[in-house]
Amino acid sequence: MCGRYSFSKKKVPQAHRYADKLEGLSFTPNFDARPSQQLPVILPAAQKAIMAIWADPTKLEDGKPTLPFNIREENLRFIPRFRELLPSHRCIIPVDGFFEWKELDDDQEQEGPTEESTANVALDLFGNPVRSEAEKKRLKKAKPQKQKYRFTLAQEEPFGLAGLCRESLHKETGELFPHFTIITTKANEAVQPYHDRMPVILTPHSEGIWMNNRLQEKDWLSVLTPYDARQMSVMAIDEYESMLGNYVAPKLNSK
Domain chopping of the chain, boundaries: 5-103+154-233
Q: pLDDT tens digits, residue range 165-221? A: 999 876 677 788 999 999 999 999 999 999 999 999 999 999 999 999 999 999 999
Distance separating alpha carbons of residues 92 and 52, to the nearest angstrom = 12
Given pLDDT bands bounded at 50, 70 and 90, which one contains residue 6? Answer: very high
Q: What's the average model confidence in pLDDT over 28-36?
A: 96
Distance separating alpha carbons of residues 53 and 167, to the nearest angstrom = 10
Q: What's the average model confidence in pLDDT over 144-172?
A: 91
**Model pLDDT, residue 172:** 73
Q: pLDDT tens digits, residue range 115-146? A: 444 455 676 555 567 777 777 666 656 667 89
Between 237 and 143, name the one with better pLDDT.
Answer: 237
Kindly report the pTM of this predicted structure.
Answer: 0.83
Counting every residue written for the chain, the total comes to 255
Q: How far is CA 46 from CA 18, 23, 193, in A?
A: 13, 13, 38
Contact indicator for 113, 121 with CB cutoff of 8 Å: no
Q: What's the average model confidence in pLDDT over 40-62?
A: 92
Contact indicator for 182, 161 with CB cutoff of 8 Å: yes
Average pLDDT, the chain: 87
Q: pLDDT tens digits, residue range 241-253? A: 999 999 999 865 4
Neighbours of 2 (CB within 10 A): 22
Q: Helix count (H) and strand count (E) of the chain?
A: 7, 15
**Model pLDDT, residue 57:** 85
Report the SS3 class of residue 148. Answer: strand
Between 2 and 108, name the one with better pLDDT.
Answer: 2
CATH architecture label of 5-103+154-233: Alpha-Beta Complex (3.90)
Contact indicator for 32, 4 with CB cutoff of 8 Å: yes
Q: What percent of the chain has pLDDT over 90?
A: 71
**Model pLDDT, residue 116:** 42
**Model pLDDT, residue 130:** 76
